[in-house]
Structure 1
Amino acid sequence: MINRLSCFAGLALALAMVGAAACEMPPPARVDIDANSYYSDAHHSVIDPVLQAKNIANVKPIEDFLARVARDASGRDPGCALRWLASWGEQQAMLGKLSSEQAYYVRKWTLSGLALSYARVQAQATPAQRAVIESWLRRLADATIAHSDAFRGTRNNHYYWEGLAVTAVGGVTGDARYLAWGRKVFAFAMSQVADDGALPAEMGRAGKALHYHLFAATPLAMMASILNLHDARLDKLVSFTMAAAADPSGLARVTGVAQEPERSDQLAVIYNRHAGRPAPGGQGLWQARLGGALDVANPLEHLQ
């Protein structure tokens, strides 16, 4: 009997060790962000491969962290996602020196993904984890708002991603200030939609006009779902963007530049789900900046 109990105890310990090994120690937090722009033309449409490679290498630790949290939060290991989030929260990640405007882009995209991933696992967090993670997300949201409000450049897709990041933090913390700021960003975006559904700031991106319409419309669709907003101007923007993705020739004629092919699946799944029109083909869609698996509704989304 003693030997049998010892065997069971040994097996339990081995299984526990396997489970613990599945969640590696989180990497040291990146407090500072070093990133650089990589476009070489006035339209920000032509990529310099050398500058792009430099930027990818510099931000890889942050991108890898976000991807791992999103994977775990989307079902692989919720407990590990919480441990990683709390670790970087304790170290006040991404709240140090930001080297450039591109670094601020990285922070807001990452904040969006982290907040939306946290929404998936928040119910499983301990009180201590909630305190650390939510305090950190609030500080990142405050920093995002401060930088955005001080910015004097064109309000384009970057502003909409800031809106999504702050809105998502409002969703997981219940802080009305962040939700109100998100509504302000969304209202501004809607005011920019032209009669044909286009966004003038994104039309100026030459060969990447289609890419940046998708990059603008997708966070706006997620914001609309989180804030439970319905707006005919968003419908026009999404219709314009999805039509252009299906057939870029019209957009090419208007811009005078051939458009790079793009898929609209991510936008379609989020938008149609909020509108009560499930979109086929969503299985396997993935975007860490949007909280990971897109075929499974985020807890913050309002479904019709």
Structure 2
Amino acid sequence: MVKRLTSFFVLALAGHVAAAACDTPPPARIDIDANSYYSDAHHSVIDPVLRAKNIANTKPIEDFLAHVAKDANAGGDAACAVSWLASWGEQKAMLGKLSSEQAYYVRKWTLGGLALNYARVQTQATPVQRAVIESWFKALANATMAHSDTKKGGRNNHYYWEGLAVTAVGGVTGDVRYLDWGRKVFAHAMSQVAADGSLPAEMERAGKALHYHVFAVTPLVMMASILDLHDARLDKVVNFTVAASADPSGIARITGVEQEPVGSREVTLVYNRHEGKAAPAAGKPLWQPRLGGALDVPNPLEHLK
């Protein structure tokens, strides 16, 4: 423990971090304890007790990501964001025991968010900090790919978020292995787009079919921007999702279940930037730590037209 704390303070000093100006990073979460919270076969009805349990167990990881995002974006403390990442990187956070498939979801969402936020402050990191953080990201990406590649069964929105996490790691490290894996995921996703632009796996989610279309397409448009990919099938699924968000009655007719209203501005913000289209109508600034914080501000990894 003494050795670990000593090396962390060396990293902090190397990064010119004023300890008094930056909160002390919390102890890293090595293991992840998370649980599923749906009560029906379509995974569309939430059990509030199980949901509350999952939120409580994963809160330290969610809070860590939220803190890093706050400091990595405008108005924050970039050096503090870097020091927090280096602290958890040195402790090899999230590389221990994962209690369930839900725990793997948490890890990939967190990895993608941390890598996208790191992209905003990467230039503020010292060589020592970069080595620690990027080595940790690669270990997490390797673990994500290994778990994903051994899974059997359908590939749905979770596969796309795994693709985004690994792609973001490729973006900040320059390692083509991760970029190539992201292209594989993106290509598979495009092969799933139906003639009407829907995603069959997400249409199976009953009353959450619209919700999960937005949730699935969001990582796909960010991956397309990072990898600078253009695909007519992506255009089709984006158009389907945005139209369904504006008028859910079509999906409701197909599924036979009324849909929860879901906005799609996070999709159009990233997609339009990459495609050189007009920005969607202005609204409340969008903030999503899992996507790099302020969505209205392009991420350094995005390719803009």
TM-score computed with the length of structure 1 as normaliser: 0.93
Q: What whole-Å deviation, never above 9, does each CA across 1:2-57 have from its counterpart, x for those lacking one?
A: xxxxxxxxxxxxxxxxx744410000000000000000000000000000000000
Find the aligned partners of 2:293 and 2:113 in 1 and give their Cα distance: 8
User: Which letter maps to 1:263?
Assistant: G
Over the aligned positions, Cα root-mean-square deviation in angstroms equals: 0.9
User: Partner residue of 2:287?
Assistant: 286
Q: Note the C-alpha offset of 1:250.
A: 1.0
User: Which letter maps to 2:201?
Assistant: A
Tell me, yes or no, if structure 1 residue 70 matches structure 2 residue 57. no
Q: What whole-Å deviation, never above 9, does each CA across 1:148-184 have from its counterpart, x for those lacking one?
A: 0000021000000000000000000000000000000
User: Partner residue of 1:167?
Assistant: 167
Find the aligned partners of 2:20 and 2:260 in 1 and give their Cα distance: 43
Aligned length: 286
User: Which letter maps to 2:52?
Assistant: A
Q: Note the C-alpha offset of 1:279.
A: 2.4
User: Partner residue of 2:298?
Assistant: 297
User: Which letter maps to 1:74?
Assistant: N
User: Partner residue of 1:242?
Assistant: 242
Find the aligned partners of 2:251 and 2:110 in 1 and give their Cα distance: 30
1:149-160 to 2 correspondence within 5 Å?
149-160=149-160
8 Å contact from structure 1 (residues 67, 288) kept in 2: yes
Q: Note the C-alpha offset of 1:283.
A: 5.4
8 Å contact from structure 1 (residues 245, 262) kept in 2: yes
8 Å contact from structure 1 (residues 226, 301) kept in 2: yes
Distance 1:263 1:22, change over 3 A: farther
User: Which letter maps to 1:70?
Assistant: A
Find the aligned partners of 1:21 and 1:34 in 2 and give their Cα distance: 32
Find the aligned partners of 1:283 and 1:209 in 2 and give their Cα distance: 25
Other structure's SS at 2:236 match: helix
1:185-204 to 2 correspondence within 5 Å?
185-204=185-204
User: Partner residue of 2:9?
Assistant: none
Tell me, yes or no, if structure 1 residue 125 matches structure 2 residue 130. no
Find the aligned partners of 2:19 and 2:258 in 1 and give their Cα distance: 51
User: Partner residue of 2:34?
Assistant: 35
Find the aligned partners of 2:102 and 2:82 in 1 and give their Cα distance: 27
User: Which letter maps to 1:157?
Assistant: N
8 Å contact from structure 1 (residues 35, 103) kept in 2: yes
Sequence identity, in percent? 77
Q: What whole-Å deviation, never above 9, does each CA across 1:225-262 have from its counterpart, x for those lacking one?
A: 00000000000000000000001111101100000010
User: Which letter maps to 1:194?
Assistant: A
Distance 1:156 1:272, change over 3 A: same
Find the aligned partners of 2:79 and 2:195 in 1 and give their Cα distance: 47
User: Partner residue of 2:209?
Assistant: 209
Find the aligned partners of 2:106 and 2:239 in 1 and give their Cα distance: 28
8 Å contact from structure 1 (residues 218, 266) kept in 2: yes
TM-score computed with the length of structure 2 as normaliser: 0.92
Q: Note the C-alpha offset of 1:282.
A: 5.6
Q: Note the C-alpha offset of 1:280.
A: 2.9
- List gaps (5 residues or longer) in structure 2: 1-17
Tell me, yes or no, if structure 1 residue 55 matches structure 2 residue 54. yes
Find the aligned partners of 2:116 and 2:286 in 1 and give their Cα distance: 15
8 Å contact from structure 1 (residues 89, 136) kept in 2: yes
Q: Note the C-alpha offset of 1:265.
A: 1.1
Find the aligned partners of 2:131 and 2:147 in 1 and give their Cα distance: 24
* Higher alpha-carbon Rg: 1
Other structure's SS at 2:73 match: helix
Find the aligned partners of 1:213 and 1:156 in 2 and give their Cα distance: 10
Distance 1:34 1:102, change over 3 A: same
Find the aligned partners of 2:155 and 2:104 in 1 and give their Cα distance: 14
- List gaps (5 residues or longer) in structure 1: 1-18
Q: What whole-Å deviation, never above 9, does each CA across 1:30-89 have from its counterpart, x for those lacking one?
A: 000000000000000000000000000000000000011011101211111000000000
8 Å contact from structure 1 (residues 282, 294) kept in 2: no
Q: Note the C-alpha offset of 1:284.
A: 1.5
Find the aligned partners of 1:78 and 1:164 in 2 and give their Cα distance: 23
User: Which letter maps to 1:55?
Assistant: N
Find the aligned partners of 1:78 and 1:281 in 2 and give their Cα distance: 27
Find the aligned partners of 2:57 and 2:21 in 1 and give their Cα distance: 26
1:8-157 to 2 correspondence within 5 Å?
20-75=19-74, 76-157=76-157
Other structure's SS at 1:202 match: helix
Other structure's SS at 2:276 match: coil
Q: Note the C-alpha offset of 1:281.
A: 1.7
Find the aligned partners of 1:258 and 1:34 in 2 and give their Cα distance: 33
